[in-house]
Amino acid sequence: MGCLLNATSFDKNAPILYVLVSVILLVVVAQAVFFLVRAYRRGVKIGMEKAVLNKTMLRAAIFTIAPAMAILVGIVVLAKELGIPLPWLRLSVIGSFSYETIAASVFKGDVDNGTVYVTIALVMTCGMLVSMFLPLITGKKIQRGLIKIRQKDKKWGEIFMTALFLGMISAFLGYIFGSVGEGASGWIPVCVFFVSAVVMAAFGGLLKITKWKWINDYALPVCIVAGMAAAVPITMLLG
């Protein structure tokens, strides 16, 4: 099979790469829409209120905006070395900014030929093999295990689920304090964390006083934006 381009005409922003990435992302979007429609219909069937399901969609959309902007920044950063299509693909699907950055660093220098580009793309892909295939193998067993726990002892089943979430949150709480040893600048994420926490506490207080339920829909997204905005002056002060 003849090559579409040769090594000397390598272009990390070649139009065909955009086409490839678009096709892959369209399939992923189709999967998301398929599960969305299926879950929505099932929710209606088992008697969940449509208003609750619609609100969930709105909340998820609003919640996503700020973190997605940060992911977009990741694409901009990686695009300098790798062009746009590869970071766009990696950060739209299974990848994460931290992993893709580390994987891209296996080659120091300008990515100016197809062999280097392909090898970096392969390293990025191989690192996520377990994340791609293991859930397909273990997903059913894990969910059935949880069901058994709940069947055995419902109260413990509830505590078990709560403990899972708190275990994750506690790890990220520690992570935020993981740079304090580098001096004043290491306290920036800690200050951002507390700004976000204080805003959330203020929303909680406001909700108690006013009973405005709609506050719930915007509390966490506003906390995220407030924390991110506060990071700018905090960095000027401590950075």
Q: Would you tell me how many other CB atoms lie within 10 Å of the CB of residue 157? A: 16
- Does 177 bind other proteins (CB under 8 A)? Our answer is yes
Q: Does 206 bind other proteins (CB under 8 A)?
A: no
Query: Do 123 and 107 meet the contact criterion of CB atoms below 8 Å apart?
Result: no
Asked if 102 touches other proteins (CB under 8 A), the answer is yes
Are residues 195 and 226 in contact, defined by beta-carbon separation less than 8 angstroms?
A: yes
Interface residue with other proteins, options 110, 112, 182, 209 (CB under 8 A): 182
Site size with other proteins, rule: CB under 8 A? 169
Which candidate, 111, 81, 91, places its Cα nearest to that of 28?
Answer: 91
76: exposed, middle or buried (Cβ count in 10 Å: 0-12, 13-18, 19+): exposed
Distance separating alpha carbons of residues 127 and 99, to the nearest angstrom: 8
- The residue from 119, 205, 206, 210 that contacts other proteins (CB under 8 A) is 119
Interaction pattern, residues 34-73, with other proteins; x per rule: CB under 8 A? xxx-xxx-xx-xxxxx-xxx-xxx-xxx-xxxxxxxxxxx
Nearest approach in angstroms of CB 38 to other proteins is: 7
Quickly tell me which residue has 């929303």 as its tokens: 203
Which 67-96 positions form the footprint of other proteins (CB under 8 A)?
67-73, 75-77, 79, 84, 86, 88-89, 91-96
Residues 145-174 that bind other proteins (CB under 8 A): 146-147, 150-151, 155-174
